[in-house]
Structure 1
Amino acid sequence: MKKRLPLTVIGGFLGAGKTTLLNRWLRDAKGLRMAVLVNDFGALNIDADLIAATHGDTVALTNGCVCCQIGDDLGRALVQVIEVATPFDAVVIEASGVSDPWRIAQIGMAAPELSLEGVIVLVDASAVGPQSRDPLLADTLARQVRSADLVVVNKIDLASGEALSAARAWVEATAPGTPCIQTAQSTVPLALLSGLPLPAAVQGAGHACGHECRDPHHGHGHDHSHDHDPDHGALFQTWSAQPEAVIPAAAICAWLRDVPPGVLRLKGLLRTGRGAQGEDEWSEVQFAGRHGTLRKAAGPTDGARAGVVAIGLRHQLPEQALKDFFAG
């Protein structure tokens, strides 16, 4: 079966930093072919040196990514992306500044060719205080944040200490338990929600093919931590393992419903059972923010091993809990 295309939705009120984040991800794609669906090319203001060609509502970039203007029909834009001759690696949709990102995510989830990776919502730390007290804006802001798998309190460099504390308090009161990070200039690594690579030992993993365990709004967000990975910067660290044991699918599904706080992103290819002939059965596990899936997958090729990678904030990633479950 054809591998499903990972989908990420980016939301947030006007001026929260969505466009800056998209431009950052497009520059940092590093071989990942993304299709980015936006409402307005003009607002995105793609770096000129990245543009290879423009065709109507589509801009092709030199790194293999494309940007497509949604227009009046998101469904049609998604079909065009899905049916492209050379498949993309990921799809990112920018929700308009006043829309509900979760409604857009549901449209994407209705397509069997897509797999929702997560909803990331940006909040302007310097402006959310007065915005959230405005009776005309409060409901929109709250609805956006409640739809998030990950909240990014952005523009902390422009906010006073009091404003930043108030912004964090509002997020925690509005969407309790939702993972939240702070950043300036939309500095969020692409791997956090889109295209996190598997460990080298499990590259070339097969296509997903059937069984799915999904729990979209639970949780919170080998023995070494890559503390100095330049892709993640000073805010993030990663943990990885190559489990030798079979981990039953039911156990992984249960773990996904109660992921230890501090895990923002996790992806892996694991042995989850034995077939009738004694052959290994494999599954791909994904977790982003509050959103986890487990799907059957073809095993790795060329003798590669099982593997799992997790990302979290520096000094907040629960390495011992990860080791206890995955590495034993």
Structure 2
Amino acid sequence: MTTRRRLPLTVVGGFLGAGKTTLLNRWLREAGGLRMAVLVNDFGALNIDADLIAATHGDTLALTNGCVCCQIGDDLGRALVQVIESATPFDAVVIEASGVSDPWRIAQIGMAAPELSLEAVVVLVDASAVAQQSRDALLADTLARQLKSADLVVVNKADLADAAALAAAHAWAERAAPGTPRIETVQSALPLALLSGLPAPSAAACGVCGTGACGHDHAPDHGAMFQTWSAQPMAAIPADTLRAWLRAMPPGVLRLKGWLRTGDGAEGDEWSEVQFAGRHGSVRRAPPPRDARAGVVAIGLRRQLPEEALDRFFAR
């Protein structure tokens, strides 16, 4: 028996000017042949290069790399149905929350669809402005509410903040979302593989985009900021054991994904897809990978990834 893979959903939130549109543009350009459906409020804000647009169909832009952008309009549910029922399946769907909305409410709409699997809520903050914005009584509640749902807080525009402003931004983010993983970025330089829910890379894959032969011209700061770890466990790991371990994930793991043997069934080996992002983890029955080889990859900040703890668990 095979289990159909649910479509990974990522919600991107953050206040006006935090860098959400810049992040989506990066991901669309770095898709590397993987099909993403990006749901946005306004095409104009994306400012997609004309040579990347293959066709326009009303509220949908088809891109030359297989991705699409769908304008949400007043009905997010309708836009999601169009993506789910697409004749050509997508690899992932990303929804941009408006600058004043609560990204968790949007994530809950996505969670209501059995065809979707919530992978992460990513919330960006403007390092140069958030400390001042949070002192505004009219904005403080909106900003704090956005962070409470985050699996990853991205302190963006770090290059535009002096040392005091950057420290204040981190202090505010920790108060608003204590313990939530947090990283600094410049120009929303967040690797697509980190939280997109796209297929797990092989052991030899690029640590930025998660593909084995991406051909991307990656910015050098990605390699300096992020570190990857991978393994190919030989033995089966029971699904319940995996779920318990995901609930107690060692600090420092921002993203973990893979396909693993989880037992012996009546029809042979049982396989599961394992996903972890920020605060969400899942173990779901899945067909075996094409080469029938188990593999798992973890991504974290350089010198913070707990490689010894990962080695101990997956070598059991």
Q: TM over 0.5: same fold? A: yes
The code of the aligned residue for 1:321 comes to A
How many Å apart are 1:197 and its aligned residue?
A: 3.6
Map of 2:298 onto structure 1: 310
Q: Secondary structure at the match of 2:159?
A: helix
Map of 1:53 onto structure 2: 55
Residues matched between the structures, number: 302
Map of 1:149 onto structure 2: 151
Cα distance in 1 for partners of 2:201, 2:22 equals 29
Deviations 1:302-322 (A, max 9, x none): 4x3111000000111000011
2:281 pairs, out of 284, 288, 292, with 292
Deviations 1:143-178 (A, max 9, x none): 001110000000000001000000001111111110
5+ residue gaps, structure 2, are 206-217
Cα distance in 1 for partners of 2:219, 2:238 equals 31
Map of 2:195 onto structure 1: 193
Cα distance in 1 for partners of 2:275, 2:227 equals 18
Cα distance in 1 for partners of 2:204, 2:294 equals 6
Summarize the alignment of residues 151-300 of structure 1 with structure 2, pairs less than 5 Å apart: 151-200=153-202, 232-276=222-266, 279-300=268-289
* Cα pair 2:127 2:157 within 8 Å, conserved: yes
Cα distance 1:143–1:134, how it changes in 2: closer, same or farther (>3 A)? same
Cα distance 1:43–1:201, how it changes in 2: closer, same or farther (>3 A)? closer
Cα distance in 1 for partners of 2:222, 2:255 equals 12
How many Å apart are 1:234 and its aligned residue?
A: 1.8
Deviations 1:175-197 (A, max 9, x none): 11100000110000000111444
How many Å apart are 1:58 and its aligned residue?
A: 0.7
Summarize the alignment of residues 57-206 of structure 1 with structure 2, pairs less than 5 Å apart: 57-200=59-202
Cα distance in 2 for partners of 1:27, 1:49 equals 11
Q: Secondary structure at the match of 2:224?
A: coil
Deviations 1:38-79 (A, max 9, x none): 001111111222111111111111101110100000000000
Q: Secondary structure at the match of 1:305?
A: coil
How many Å apart are 1:233 and its aligned residue?
A: 2.9
* Cα pair 1:248 1:272 within 8 Å, conserved: yes
Q: Which moved more, 1:193-202 or 1:288-297?
A: 193-202
Cα distance in 2 for partners of 1:177, 1:267 equals 21
* Cα pair 1:202 1:300 within 8 Å, conserved: no
How many Å apart are 1:120 and its aligned residue?
A: 0.3
How many Å apart are 1:301 and its aligned residue?
A: 3.5
- The two structures, once aligned, show a CA RMSD in angstroms of 1.9
Cα distance in 1 for partners of 2:14, 2:313 equals 34
Map of 2:311 onto structure 1: 323
